[in-house]
Amino acid sequence: MNRISKSLVFATASAVVTLLPTLAMAGQITWWTPNWGEQRARKLAADFEKANPDITINIEVTTSQGLPERVLTALQSGAAPDIIEVQHAWVQGYAQSDLVQPVDDLLKDSSDYNKAALNYVTYQDHLYGVPYRVECIGLLYNRDDFTKAGLDPDKPPQTWNDWTADAKALTRDGVFGMAITAGGEVGNTITRALPLIWMNGGDIISADGKTATINTPQAVAAVKYYTDFFTNGYSPDSTLQNDGVANRQLFIAGKVAMYQSGQFDIAPIQQGAPNLKLGATPLPHPEGKSSACILSGWSYVIPKDAKNPTDAKKFIQFLNTTDNDAYFTDTFPARISSLQAQRFQDPLLKPFGAALADGRPAPNNPHWVQISQAFFDGIQRILTKQQDVQTSMNQTNDDIQSLLDQ
Amino acid sequence: MARSITGYFFILPAMIVLALLIAYPLVYTVYLSLTNSAGALTDRNFINVMRPAATAISFVNLIYWVGASVVFEVVLGTAAAILLNQKFPGRGFVRSVTLIPWVVPSIVAATTWAWMFHTEFGIINYMLSGAGLVRQPVGWLTDIHLVMGVMVAINVWKLFPFVAVMVLAALQAIPDELYEAAKIDGANFWDETLYVTLPQVRTVLIAVTLLLVIWGLNSITLIYAITQGGPANATLITPILIFRLAFQSFQFNQAAALSVVFFAVTAVIVAIYMRISRAGEVA
């Protein structure tokens, strides 16, 4: 008798334990969100739970360190959360490997979304992510340096001719007019130089990803324009050591008057040099052409193995209303209507917001890291005067082509 | 017969561990180098890694890096050991201080040196320009003609204490009678060094040099932490190229192919060295 009752208790307990997760799934959403937006995420989750008392949101906070590996492991493990925030550029890979669900039904008003962001998350005509955050690189400058050099700080450079002329005028008294990157983080240099190539009508590889195009006249002219900032002495002596962070340090130290960066540098600059009068403008463009930038940012994806995709979709729709997207994003919202929110009317932010419309996705190629390295090496060969621009870009073109041929 | 079989059984566990730790990775690397990501047999990996100009550059740089490093490490280390073997006040203290570079973790040393050699913020340029020795800041890490020399200098600074300690130990094992005999024959300090000291530490020097060559060929930390192989591949050595291929680009098959080529080159260098040193011993 005793044994039988024990067995019964055990059987019931096992049944409960087995059933628990299934029961818990209904009305539960697990959401992986990065740490920088945690407070705002908790507020939005609470608002949603209030309006939908039958749904509970479990927030799991992620950090950028090692996130791609962590997300990939979760997606492949079969035990994925319901919503993950990932960078736009990762989504295509997930879609190709059938790890995330199509979310076409979530986007009723696609014309209200940044076009480049939607391009990133579209694979074979289906949408695999909902973009919510976008950002672009612009030009930051020291307004006092402009005044000292006899330039009007309210009229930052708009065209390439202005840009060079201003860099020349600003290079004085131990200050360098315009710092380019050509060292440190390899990716930084391509984010800053590739937009110039695009503006000038060139590209690094063809649209079909089969041909290297970095030695075309348009691309070579743009690379020459970029590297001339150093060759003419407007970029610091340490340029070959400098990436985005190093240039920010030089800007804070008052050694650099202009440099390319995103609005993520505004806060560190204001903290590091509270008296520095900061100005910002979209990247200048060649005469008669329009500006460009590499767009980056974040999207929501629903894993293939999500336990509760229905409620997850409902929650994403809530997160991406015009107001909530404007509230939640750390930089800029992917929704165009959200840009009207008060917080984006700051004069320092507006130029970055204006640049978003010119944003283009980075090429999607399995050899992208090596292509970036080949381009970076080419820029360094020019700056170290080993090769002229055309010869160097011919070699870079060969290096990239050998990667594309593999 | 039976006795010898029993013996094999005793060494079996050790052989299994060795096979798992050394033979398996070696064989697997060769396998990876000969297959594509789908596992099919191919020679493309070798063709693909040998095609870029950077591969040839990395081998040339590697020879420069190892050759220059080893020569200066051995010369400086031996000189330091001979000095530290003399009797002078505070000898124990100086011996301990000499060891510091070797004790400092490589990554800490690399980061510190990178800052000291920085063109704009570095203390070395600051002191040089402060003393009026240079007008323009020197591009220690950005000038392609200087940067490899700087890397070698940092590497020598890091490793000469190791040579010094090893040679010092050998020096202390030389019986005093030899020196006394030399003195009686009228030898001065240089004669003693040349005809007594150096021949006595020869075997240690050979072993240490071999270690230094192997470490030099495998080293990645110093250069990777300071220049990542730049500027314009001026400090790119093969191990960095292999690291980039495998862990930045995830091209494991190509990285394996380059590793196999690298292994062959290394094996040839070490074999030549051992042949020469053995020939010297016989003579």
Q: What is the 3-state secondary structure (H, E, C) of A322-367?
A: HHHHHHHCCCEECECHHHHCHHHCCCCCHHHHHHHHHEECCCCCCC
Report pLDDT for A2: 53
Residues of chain A numbered 298-337 and touching chain B (CB < 8 Å): none
Tell me the average pLDDT across A298-308: 95
Amino acid occupying residue B203: T
Residues of chain B with C-beta less than 8 angstroms from the C-beta of A250? 120
Residues of chain A with C-beta less than 8 angstroms from the C-beta of B148? none
ipTM > 0.85, yes or no = no
Q: Kindly state whether A231 is in contact with chain B, defined as any CB-CB distance less than 8 angstroms.
A: no
Report pLDDT for B280: 64
Residues of chain A with C-beta less than 8 angstroms from the C-beta of B51? 402
pLDDT confidence band for A94 (50 / 70 / 90): confident
Sign of the CA dihedral running A310, A78, B35, A399? positive
Q: Kindly state whether A95 is in contact with chain B, defined as any CB-CB distance less than 8 angstroms.
A: no
Nearest to A235 by CA among A292, A288, A289, A189: A189
Residue A8 has pLDDT above 60, yes or no: no
Residue A23 has pLDDT above 50, yes or no: no
pLDDT confidence band for B275 (50 / 70 / 90): confident
Residues of chain A with C-beta less than 8 angstroms from the C-beta of B225? none
pLDDT single digits (tens) B148-199: 999 999 999 999 999 999 999 999 988 888 888 988 988 888 888 888 888 8
Report pLDDT for A22: 42
Provide the β-strand partners of residue A83.
A31
Whole-angstrom distance, CA of residue A133 vs CA of residue A329: 5
pLDDT confidence band for B86 (50 / 70 / 90): confident
Tell me the average pLDDT across A131-156: 95
Residue A273 has pLDDT above 90, yes or no: yes
Smallest Cβ–Cβ distance between A241 and the set B142, B144, B244 belongs to B142
Report pLDDT for A24: 44
Q: B118 vs A238: CB contact, 8 Å cut-off?
A: yes
Mutation for B interface: A238, A245, A383, most B CBs within 10 A: A238
DSSP, collapsed to helix, strand or coil, labels residue B35 as: strand
Alpha-carbon distance B275 to nearest alpha carbon in chain A (angstroms): 39
Residue A216 has pLDDT above 70, yes or no: yes
Residue B282 has pLDDT above 80, yes or no: no
Mean pLDDT of all residues in chain B? 90
Nearest to B257 by CA among B24, B32, B23: B32
Alpha-carbon distance A364 to nearest alpha carbon in chain B (angstroms): 14
pLDDT single digits (tens) A236-259: 999 999 999 999 999 999 999 999
Answer yes or no: pTM beyond 0.90.
Answer: no
pLDDT single digits (tens) B34-47: 998 778 888 889 99
Report pLDDT for A20: 44
Report pLDDT for B281: 61
Residues of chain A with C-beta less than 8 angstroms from the C-beta of B251? 370
Report pLDDT for B87: 85
Tell me the average pLDDT across A166-184: 95
Among A194-208, A210-224, B210-224, the minimum mean pLDDT is found in B210-224
